[in-house]
Chain A
Amino acid sequence: MTILVIAEHDNSSLKADTLKAVAAASAVGGDINVLVAGANCSQAAEQAAKISGVDKVLVADNGAYEYQLAENMGLLIADIGKDYSHIISAATTTGKNFMPRAAALLDVAQISDIISVQSADTFERPIYAGNAIATVQSSDAIKVLTVRVAAFDAAGTDGNAEIVALDNTQNADISSFVGAELTKSERPELGAARVIISGGRGMQNGENFALLDGIADKLSAAIGASRAAVDAGFVPNDMQVGQTGKIVAPELYIAVGISGAIQHLAGMKDSKVIVAINKDPEAPIFQIADYGLAADLFEALPELEAAL
């Protein structure tokens, strides 16, 4: 049994999500190959070679893969994936984009967003926004899986795998990269942060999110938001935590001015410790919070920043 893990990277550096996908592959058991598909991506490949448990890193270095367009990635993964028992990627917006394409080309199902590996063919995954957990078994010859990164501990980085260059160019030539607006931030990413502080509709506007900055600085926290805050235009979409945004499980999650809609809870309820600050003592968020503070956030936040 050999498993193919698709690396998540930006050509120059490997994303931590890849370590989670490798951890899931290790739980399945078997030899692990990592595919790094990109352009001028040798640095990312070298980092992949250091992941513990990886036997081989396959590098497809070609302009066709620079932005990991789903059309080209789908063809590449389906082409080399034929010889594997499992194909695994992180359930990030990148993995979610190309993995189903590869699965369909291989004529097999995809099992999305797994949270545990029961055996080589049986997995658990959340459905209905995490309100139910399905245990599913696949009899497909190749299991295509995406992994909920918050549910797995990262693989180590003391490996030394062989790096093999692939000569495999798949260019469907039906799509192109036009541009990207990436948020620049000194803070940790939501998926990797030990502490997250999120604001909701109660923040009232985008400027008030600055009240979270000082606390985030002191706790080295990432800043998130509820869908209500994103929909209202307070903050950009990539800050959204929830069923359809980022799914996180930090050590400490502080929800500020967030009522606790089901779809938000789906994105953070596996956090180790949850703190809720909301002026409405009846807000549903308090039912799942370890510590609740019913207070006006405009008074509580400066006080909290001073107390830390």
Chain B
Amino acid sequence: MKILVTVKRVIDYNVKVRVKADNSGVDLANTKMSINPFCEIAVEEAVRLKEKGVATEVVVVSIGAKACQEQIRTALALGADRGIQIDTELNLDSLQVAKLLAKVVEQEQPNLVIMGKQAIDSDNNQTGQMLGALTGLPQGTFASEVVIEGDKAQVTREIDGGLQTVGLSLPAIVTTDLRLNEPRYATLPNIMKAKRKPLEVKAADDFGVNLTSNVQVLKVSEPAKRDGGEMVETVADLVAKLKDEAKVI
């Protein structure tokens, strides 16, 4: 069985985000970029399925400018077999990304697509579900466990009240939550080996997809600042402040 995994290049999760002075966006110049953490979990899950003998090939795809090849190489170093970069300078919205991915699904015919549940930059949490709709495939979102049995997948999902398990007919889309697995670190020999794995570049314009979004960002601003308050010395002081000053208890 073939698994398609998607990865997004995003600002590293440890980097402090700065809003540009002209409110046009977030300053990404000279900042450290990484694989979106949820996408890394997706890669790890696919590689584990291959190691268990469930999957035979793991294909990793990323959409973006040439720089995202770095994240594809990272995924290859973690154990994916080959990469596809869909080249575009545009900052695409989830719907456009899902449309491009639907074409990749059509071309590659994977039995399973594993994606991160959300990217930590746009925080949209949409692309996997949209890809499901456009391909007509079922989805198991926010997955904390994935079990493949024949032509079915059982996905345990993290939901507001606890956990829910759904059965999906394959092919299917899975989006990852934090507890699905703990991604490995790439070893140096694997990083070297990844440089020789195949990475195909395709122009986004060649997919016949309308890449214009109808959503326009008017401005990006700093959130309201929250000033630190005061330190109290004792529990009694704290209770008194909550009662008399804040009046919340």
Interface residues of A (CB under 8 A from B): 67, 69-71, 74, 78, 92-94, 96-105, 107-113, 122, 126-140, 172, 174-183, 191, 195, 219, 227, 230-231, 236-238, 243-244, 246, 251-252, 262-263, 269, 272-275, 281, 286-295, 300, 303-304, 307-308
Contacts and interface: CB of A to CB of B under 8 A. Distances in A.
Nearest to B161: A182
Contact of B238 (A99, A100, A227, A275): A275
A96 B125 contact: yes
B221 A132 contact: yes
Contact of B215 (A138, A181, A230, A288): A138
B133 A231 contact: no
Given A137-B218, A292-B230, A195 B160 contact: no
A134 B160 contact: no
Main SS at interface, chain A: mixed
Interface string B163-182: 11111110010000111000
B213 A126 contact: no
A246 B229 CA distance: 24
A132 to B, nearest CB: 5
A238 B160 contact: yes
B236 interface: yes
Given A100-B126, A273-B242, A291-B242, A180 B164 contact: yes
A245 B127 CA distance: 18
A175 to B, nearest CB: 4
Interface of B: 11, 13, 16-17, 19, 26, 93-95, 98, 117-118, 120-134, 136-139, 141-142, 144, 154, 157-169, 172, 177-179, 213-223, 226, 228-236, 238-239, 241-242, 246, 248-249
Contacts of A251: 248
A107 B123 CA distance: 20
B242 A131 contact: no
B154 A178 contact: yes
A235 to B, nearest CB: 12
A294 B237 CA distance: 12
22 contacts: A70-B132, A70-B141, A97-B139, A97-B141, A110-B126, A126-B223, A129-B120, A131-B17, A132-B222, A135-B219, A137-B216, A138-B216, A139-B214, A139-B216, A174-B137, A180-B159, A195-B249, A231-B178, A291-B241, A292-B228, A293-B231, A307-B235
A180 B141 CA distance: 14
A219 B243 CA distance: 12
Contacts of B178: 227, 230-231, 244
Contact of B158 (A113, A134, A237): A237
Contacts of B236: 307
Nearest to A265: B226
A179 B165 CA distance: 5
Nearest to A218: B249
Nearest to A233: B179
A244 B177 contact: yes
Contact of A219 (B177, B179, B249): B249
A308 B239 contact: yes
Contacts of B238: 275, 291, 293, 304
B77 to A, nearest CB: 24
A107 B236 CA distance: 58
B139 A308 contact: no
A96 B117 CA distance: 10
A101 B130 contact: yes
A255 to B, nearest CB: 13
The 6 closest A-B pairs by CB, nearest first: A290-B229, A100-B129, A104-B130, A104-B133, A100-B126, A175-B138
Nearest to B182: A231
B179 A231 contact: yes
Contacts of A69: 166
Give the interface centre of A100, A131, A172 by most chain B CB atoms within 10 Å: A100
B225 to A, nearest CB: 9
Given A71-B139, A93-B159, A128-B26, A286 B228 contact: yes
Contacts of B129: 70, 74, 96-101, 104
B121 to A, nearest CB: 6
A110 B163 CA distance: 25
A287 B228 contact: yes
Contact of A176 (B16, B166, B218): B166
Contact of B229 (A174, A179, A291): A291
A13 to B, nearest CB: 13
A178 B162 contact: no
A127 B162 contact: no
Given A132-B26, A178-B154, A238 B161 contact: yes
Contact of A289 (B154, B160, B215, B229): B229
Contacts of A236: 162-163
B214 to A, nearest CB: 4
B163 A181 contact: yes
